[in-house]
Amino acid sequence: MMLAFPLPRYLTPFLQAPALLALLWLLLALAGPWVAPYLPGEVVSTTVFAPISARHWLGTDYLGRDVLTRLLYGTSSTVLLCAASTVMACGAGAFLGMMAALKRGMTDTLLSRFMDGVISIPSLLSGLVAVATFGSSVPVLVLAMACIYLPGSYRTCRMLALSIVQKDFILAARMRGEKTSYLVVREILPNMAGPVLTDVGLRFIYAVRLLSNLSFLGVGLQPPQTDLGSLTRENLLGLVYGAPAVIAPALAIAFLTVGLNLALDGKGRHQ
Amino acid sequence: MNAKLGIAIARRLGASCVSLVFVVVAVFFITSALPGDVAQSLLGQAATPDAVAALRHSLRLDEPVLLRFASWAGGLLRGDFGMSLVSHQSVMSMVHERLLHSLLLAGITTLFAVPTALLLGTLSAIFRNTVFDRCVSVLTLCVVSVPEFLVATLAVLVFAVQLHLLPALASISDIHSIGSFLAAFSMPVATLGCVIVGQMARMTRAVMVNVLSSSWVEMAVLKGVSPTAIILRHVLPNVVAPLFNVMALSLSYLLGGVVIVESVFHYPGIASLMVDSVASRDIPLVQTCALIFCAAYLLLTTLADVVALFSTQERSRA
């Protein structure tokens, strides 16, 4: 496709397969609840674990609710919660990482030591501890995931920024007397946008895995809210009948995580 | 030379101890961030303020945080992990047997997964960019990107529901023969193994490709060394350290996987105990389980680094 006008270079990373795929899921998450044929809590059929039919495209669940509706709502909460926590984690990670790379010295050492300490706690474990302490609600889950994935993002951004800070154009900008904010926004960020966005994609996949795992264990999102993990959990009995109620959310998670990861992997191979 | 190695290892062990202290402090302060809530949530909504106050007093929640931390950490040093809030048994007695079960599961999985992963990773590095390599790459990518419970659910669907080959639950209490042992363990081990193999094979491939495309391997090929000799004499000594790192990192994924696998198959291990204690908000039990997991993770990474230090020592002497 030819574009009539040149795009700013910070937009080019958004025009690649992983980003387009992510935007598609985001669109689905935002539009899902609007196009859902029923209400998520509404019992619409007397048959439980009904197969695929014209009235219920993905059958009914263990209470006779419409699976497609619940799947759209579940996708919405999974994608939006994970996107929110990823944005928070990577935003804070990028900010702190660039600060550490620019300031060096004591700030860098203390921050890095602290982040190394946090990273040494497995993510599912931190999630469980957070839920045990603060109870499981949407803000707790989002904040916990943001804190869990912050150190990884910090490390990536610090490494990337460190290699950029040593380049001559940064030295030139510093000689010109540019402020730190100018250096960050105009010089460092545009030069690490590609790898950072790949990192954001990976953290998003980790977040989806963590939230789904927590919800599957019954300690993530609590009813009446649903996400893809809790949908799989509550319909697990349907496994015996091969009901679409349990297969659909499982497939949705697989499509979301594997699809995004394959796209990111393909992009990494090209670079 | 040896003194240098000793100092390096001592430094690494010191760093691990600092991390352990950090974890102990973090686990305690995070779990006691909301002091009043535990008593309230244990008694439920109908609790009278007097009852809550009495429970808080008996749980020593009304004391200052630092004092509680000191007595808790002192207890840890004496091997006293406190009492469960729900069952009123000592945490130590609840954890002890469960820990053995989990170690058994982890041990069997490691025995099976590590050779498989190393073989798969090495083969796809040797035959890189072939159809075999692409298949392995896509398959392992799928396994590592989906949540662990999906692999477990799929295994139940195929082997227990469709094929009726294996029981869907791991009942390890009535193991009398090799047959019942296999029946109880094959599903959890296979599920956990899948996750580990996927992770480890990918990292092994990366390490091997890195070495195989180095200039000294190219040199060996050019001077006519046989492929077997290249792998055994030139490549292997150089990948010991990174491979141990890969193993430690992947085995730490055991910790995440084991939580899911034990819950799905109702395996009576320490991870399912932790999930139950999170659901009932049994804080002392949560703290102990979290500490055991973090200590295991630290032990693995420390071990990998010490092995790496030894192997660089060996190579610099040779």
What CATH number is given to the structural domain containing A96? 1.10.3720.10
Contact A117 B19 (CB under 8 A): yes
Give the total number of structural domains in chain B.
Answer: 1
* A18 falls within a domain: no
Q: What is the pLDDT of residue A179?
A: 87
Chain B residue numbers with beta carbons less than 8 Å from the beta carbon of A257 are: 145-147
Chain A residue numbers with beta carbons less than 8 Å from the beta carbon of B142 are: 254, 258
Q: What is the pLDDT of residue A1?
A: 42
**Cα dihedral B212, B214, B216, B222 in deg (nearest 10):** 70
B residues 68-127 closer than 8 Å to A (CB): none
* B66 falls within a domain: no
Contact A248, A67 (CB under 8 A): yes
* B215 falls within a domain: yes
Chain A residue numbers with beta carbons less than 8 Å from the beta carbon of B259 are: 124-125, 128, 213, 217
What is d(CA B106, CA B153) in angstroms, rounded to the nearest whole number? Answer: 19
Give the total number of structural domains in chain A.
Answer: 1
What six digits make up the tokens of B171? Answer: 């009942």
Q: Which sign does the torsion angle of CA B95, B100, B105, B106 carry?
A: positive
Type of residue found at B189: V
What six digits make up the tokens of B267? Answer: 């395996």
Mutate to test the interface with A, among B12, B29, B145 (most CBs of A within 10 A): B145
What is d(CA A237, CA A240) in angstroms, rounded to the nearest whole number? Answer: 6
A residues 18-77 closer than 8 Å to B (CB): none
The shortest CB-CB distance from A254 to any of B146, B263, B279 is to B146
* A16 falls within a domain: no
pTM exceeding 0.95:
no
The shortest CB-CB distance from B156 to any of A124, A132, A239 is to A239
Q: What is the pLDDT of residue A2?
A: 44
Domain of A234 in residue numbering reads as: 56-270
- The full length of chain B comes to 318
Type of residue found at A215: S
Q: Is A66 left (phi over 0), alpha (psi -120 to 50) or beta?
A: beta
What is d(CA B200, CA B202) in angstroms, rounded to the nearest whole number? Answer: 5
Residues facing A66 on adjacent strands: A60
Work out the average pLDDT over B194-211.
88
Contact A203, A93 (CB under 8 A): no
Contact B153, A250 (CB under 8 A): yes
Q: Higher confidence at residue A157 or residue B232?
A: A157
Residues near A63 by beta carbon (within 8 Å), at least 6 away in sequence: A43, A48
* A19 falls within a domain: no
Asked whether residue B203 carries a pLDDT value surpassing 80, the answer given is: yes
For position B190, which CATH number holds?
A: 1.10.3720.10
**Structure-token match 């939230």, residue found:** A211
Domain of B177 in residue numbering reads as: 2-34+81-311
Chain A residue numbers with beta carbons less than 8 Å from the beta carbon of B275 are: 128, 217-219
Work out the average pLDDT over B252-265.
82
Which of A147-156, B49-58, B167-176 has the highest mean predicted lDDT (pLDDT)?
Answer: A147-156
Q: What is the pLDDT of residue A95?
A: 92
- Mean per-residue pLDDT pooled into runs of 10, chain A (271 residues): 54 69 86 85 83 84 88 93 95 92 86 81 84 85 94 91 88 88 86 87 91 90 88 85 86 89 73 49
What is d(CA A38, CA A66) in angstroms, rounded to the nearest whole number? Answer: 7
* A33 falls within a domain: no
- The full length of chain A comes to 271
Interval B66-125: pLDDT, tens:
888 888 888 888 877 777 877 778 888 888 888 888 888 888 998 999 999 999 998 998
* B10 falls within a domain: yes
Type of residue found at A210: L
* A185 falls within a domain: yes
Dihedrals φ, ψ of B158, to 5°?
Answer: -75, -55
Type of residue found at A266: G
Residues near A167 by beta carbon (within 8 Å), at least 6 away in sequence: none
What is d(CA B126, CA B221) in angstroms, rounded to the nearest whole number? Answer: 13
Cis ω before A139 (30° cut-off from 0):
no
Contact B34 A134 (CB under 8 A): yes
What is d(CA B290, CA B278) in angstroms, rounded to the nearest whole number? Answer: 11
Q: Is A65 helix (H, G, I), strand (E, B) or coil?
A: strand
Contact B204, B248 (CB under 8 A): no
For residue B288, what is the nearest residue in chain A, using CA coordinates? Answer: A129
Residue A269 buriedness (CB in 10 A; 0-12 / 13-18 / 19+): exposed
What is d(CA B27, CA B95) in angstroms, rounded to the nearest whole number? Answer: 17
Q: DSSP readout, B74-116? A: HHHHTT---B-TTT-SBHHHHHHHHHHHHHHHHHHHHHHHHHH
Contact B146 A130 (CB under 8 A): no
**Cα dihedral A169, A175, A177, A179 in deg (nearest 10):** 40
